[in-house]
């Protein structure tokens, strides 16, 4: 097989001095599925952005089909038959699927868009590659899985032979992932080549022919997938052995700490987002919330932590109602919150680590004495927590903005855990965090549970929920459709059926 793409000695240094790629050699053969794996910040996205013309390399050459090419912009990449499906979908919400697919290269009838032709082309592509879409549906009304198919069709419409998929399964249910894998195999059978960026090792094993592993901007492994195990790949990614399994003692369920009764939430737009949500979290357990993103998990957490007002129902923490109270009041009732959107709700980017560590307690002694802040106490507090939670930074006065995603998350974890909560709500606590920090957060969550705290863990990563939670609540269209006991007999597929709304437990809506 001939190399379709060869990237030689690619180096990328950003203006701020960060070296994202150091002399990277990367090659993909015609007709293969090539997995590109690595931790966050390993440089895989940068490498692909260079290939797609979104970033210019500082050094290095790109060869395509045996010829040297320059790719100064995505337009050129498209001309060369390279297509990229981004992690955040690049779709216009108010446009229809057909309009999105042809955007930028519309079929024309005179001066006008040939709308019939746009729909016909969409249907034809959809049939050829087995990617089902409804051409006249608006993007804002379509599920995530379909949006992804639209993105793939978009690249195919533009004549892509090489498709770069950037973490395509991050937002999919197991069933949707299976469908995607089937579609990828169809594409390859029809002569396309696929680069698959991921950090889920199971997927690497399942779908790819070859794998390139990156760490700290360098390639640390380039192997045929069948020759290696998941553990081998993990070692190449982090440079040491990783515990993929989490050990935790059997659950010791205590009293009910938090109880949610008939909770409902209607969004500003009038759309009901949460319906009749009932569950309770006990001391000493982790209740996981699984579901495809956008089924109300975000709103559930925001309603419980006071960021949005509940429309109906009650939330009790230690028997006291807290619904529709301010975030501060809710915190004072013993609720801690690791928010999903770290950069917006988790930290103040332009404040220091020390400041971020006291934002929930600066107004109480010992941080404030007679109405005046005590800088020494705040600094000391930060030093202690930084050591305890292994936060790597220049010092307590380092700006939050200068930290990596993993260290930023550790600051939040340090603040929330040290608040001594009775209920800890963790939303997507390891998103965008590297394996090392992920392990750390997982261990900390289990420790809190073992100490007898109640933990509510919301995560789009089903593997994470399944490895940590004692019970799993599944959300679908704003409802909890099942609460399952987690154990070895519970499979991803079974949870997937609930996530897709195919199955539901009838009892959950009544039982608390």
Which of 44, 86, 282, 337 contacts another protein by CB under 8 A?
86
Instruction: Work out whether 477 is an interface residue with another protein (CB under 8 A).
Output: no
Instruction: Work out whether 116 is an interface residue with another protein (CB under 8 A).
Output: no
Q: Determine how β-strand 112-113 pairs with β-strand 210-215.
A: unpaired
Instruction: Work out whether 314 is an interface residue with another protein (CB under 8 A).
Output: no
Q: Which of residues 45-84 bind another protein (CB under 8 A)?
A: 73-75, 78, 84
What are the Cα distances from residue 474, in Å, to 212, 458, 478, 508? 35, 10, 10, 10
Instruction: Work out whether 436 is an interface residue with another protein (CB under 8 A).
Output: no
Q: Dihedral, CA atoms, 201, 202, 205, 209, nearest 10 degrees?
A: -70
Instruction: Work out whether 88 is an interface residue with another protein (CB under 8 A).
Output: yes
Instruction: Work out whether 170 is an interface residue with another protein (CB under 8 A).
Output: no
Which of 90, 116, 182, 511 contacts another protein by CB under 8 A?
90
- Please state the three-class secondary structure of 11-78 as a single string: EEECCCCCEEEEEEEEEEECCCEEEEEECCCCCHHHHHHHHCCCCCCCEEEEEECCEEECCCCHHHHH
Q: Dihedral, CA atoms, 157, 158, 159, 165, nearest 10 degrees?
A: -90
Whichever of 74 and 405 has its CB closer to another protein, that residue is 74
Instruction: Work out whether 218 is an interface residue with another protein (CB under 8 A).
Output: no
456 and 464 in contact (C-beta within 8 Å)?
A: no
244 and 69 in contact (C-beta within 8 Å)?
A: no
Which of 23, 104, 254, 366 contacts another protein by CB under 8 A?
104
Q: How far apart are CA 414 and CA 26, in angstroms?
A: 39
Cα 183 to chain centroid, rounded = 22
Whichever of 73 and 402 has its CB closer to another protein, that residue is 73
Instruction: Work out whether 136 is an interface residue with another protein (CB under 8 A).
Output: no
> Nearest distance from residue 197's CB to another protein, in Å?
16
State whether residue 217 is helix, strand or coil.
Answer: coil
The site map against another protein for 339-378 (x = CB under 8 A) is: ----------------------------------------
Q: Which of residues 228-257 bind another protein (CB under 8 A)?
A: none
Whichever of 231 and 511 has its CB closer to another protein, that residue is 511
Q: Which helix (H) or strand (E) holds 388?
A: helix 375-388
> Nearest distance from residue 360's CB to another protein, in Å?
31
Q: Determine how β-strand 312-317 pairs with β-strand 320-321.
A: antiparallel
In which residue are the tokens 């897709």 written? 500
> Nearest distance from residue 104's CB to another protein, in Å?
3
> Nearest distance from residue 195's CB to another protein, in Å?
17
Cα 394 to chain centroid, rounded = 28
Contacts of 315 (CB under 8 A, 6+ apart): 258, 259, 260, 261, 263, 303, 304, 321, 322, 323
> Nearest distance from residue 241's CB to another protein, in Å?
39
Which of 13, 103, 202, 377 contacts another protein by CB under 8 A?
103
Instruction: Work out whether 87 is an interface residue with another protein (CB under 8 A).
Output: no
Whichever of 105 and 190 has its CB closer to another protein, that residue is 105
Whichever of 89 and 181 has its CB closer to another protein, that residue is 89
53 and 72 in contact (C-beta within 8 Å)?
A: yes
Whichever of 112 and 249 has its CB closer to another protein, that residue is 112
> Nearest distance from residue 115's CB to another protein, in Å?
8
Instruction: Work out whether 178 is an interface residue with another protein (CB under 8 A).
Output: no
Which of 99, 179, 299, 340 contacts another protein by CB under 8 A?
99
Which of 276, 374, 443, 467 contacts another protein by CB under 8 A?
276
Phi, psi of 357 (to 5 degrees): -80, -10
Cross-strand partners of 84: 164
Whichever of 443 and 509 has its CB closer to another protein, that residue is 509
Please provide the DSSP assignment of 317-374 as one string: ETTEE-TT--HHHHHHTTEEEE-S-IIIII--TTSBHHHHHHTTTTTSTTTEETTEE-
Whichever of 144 and 266 has its CB closer to another protein, that residue is 266
Q: Which residues bind another protein (CB under 8 A)?
A: 73-75, 78, 84, 86, 88-95, 99-100, 103-106, 108, 111-113, 154, 158, 262, 264, 266, 268-272, 275-276, 311-312
């Amino acid at each position: 097989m001939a190399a379709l793409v060869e990237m030689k000695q690619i180096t990328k240094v950003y203006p701020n001095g960060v070296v994202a790629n150091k002399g990277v050699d990367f090659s993909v053969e015609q007709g293969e599925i090539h997995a590109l794996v690595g931790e966050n910040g390993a440089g895989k996205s940068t490498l692909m952005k260079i290939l797609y013309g979104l970033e210019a390399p500082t050094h290095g050459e790109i060869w395509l089909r045996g010829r040297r090419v320059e790719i100064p912009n995505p337009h050129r990449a498209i001309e060369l038959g390279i297509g990229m499906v981004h992690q955040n979908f690049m779709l216009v919400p108010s446009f229809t699927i057909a309009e999105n697919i042809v955007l930028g290269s519309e079929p024309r009838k005179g001066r006008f868009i040939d709308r019939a032709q746009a729909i016909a082309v969409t249907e034809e592509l959809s049939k050829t590659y087995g990617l089902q879409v409804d051409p006249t549906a608006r993007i804002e009304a379509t599920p995530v899985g379909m949006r992804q198919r639209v993105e793939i069709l978009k690249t195919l419409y533009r004549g892509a032979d090489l498709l770069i998929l950037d973490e395509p399964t991050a937002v999919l249910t197991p069933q949707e992932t299976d469908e995607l894998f089937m579609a990828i195999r169809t594409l390859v059978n029809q002569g396309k080549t696929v680069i698959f960026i991921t950090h889920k090792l199971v997927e690497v094993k399942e779908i790819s022919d070859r794998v390139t592993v990156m760490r700290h901007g360098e390639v640390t492994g380039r192997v045929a997938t069948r020759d290696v195990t998941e553990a081998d790949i993990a070692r190449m990614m982090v440079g040491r052995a990783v515990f993929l399994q989490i050990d935790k003692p059997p659950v010791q369920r205590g009293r009910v700490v938090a109880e949610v009764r008939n909770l409902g939430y209607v969004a500003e737009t009038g759309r009901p987002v949460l319906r009749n949500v009932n569950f309770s979290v006990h001391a000493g357990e982790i209740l996981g919330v699984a579901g495809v993103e956008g089924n109300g998990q975000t709103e559930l957490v925001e309603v419980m932590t006071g960021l949005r007002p509940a429309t109906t129902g009650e939330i009790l923490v230690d028997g006291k109602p807290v619904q529709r109270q301010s975030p501060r009041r809710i915190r004072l009732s013993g609720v801690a919150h690791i928010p999903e959107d770290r950069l917006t709700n988790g930290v103040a980017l332009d404040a220091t680590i020390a400041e971020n560590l006291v934002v929930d307690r600066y107004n109480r002694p010992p941080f404030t004495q007679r109405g005046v802040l005590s800088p020494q106490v705040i600094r000391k507090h930060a030093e202690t927590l930084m050591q305890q939670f292994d936060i790597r930074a220049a010092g307590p006065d380092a700006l939050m903005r200068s930290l990596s995603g993993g260290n930023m998350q550790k600051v939040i974890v340090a603040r929330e855990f040290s608040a001594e909560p009775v209920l800890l709500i963790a939303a997507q606590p390891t998103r965008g965090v590297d394996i090392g920090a992920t392990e750390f957060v997982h261990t900390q969550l289990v420790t809190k549970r073992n100490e007898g705290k109640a933990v509510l863990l919301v995560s789009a990563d089903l593997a994470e929920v399944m490895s940590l939670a004692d019970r799993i609540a599944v959300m679908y269209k704003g409802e909890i459709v099942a609460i399952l006991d987690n154990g070895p007999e519970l499979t991803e597929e079974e949870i997937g059926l609930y996530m897709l709304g195919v199955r539901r437990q009838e009892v959950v809506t009544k039982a608390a």
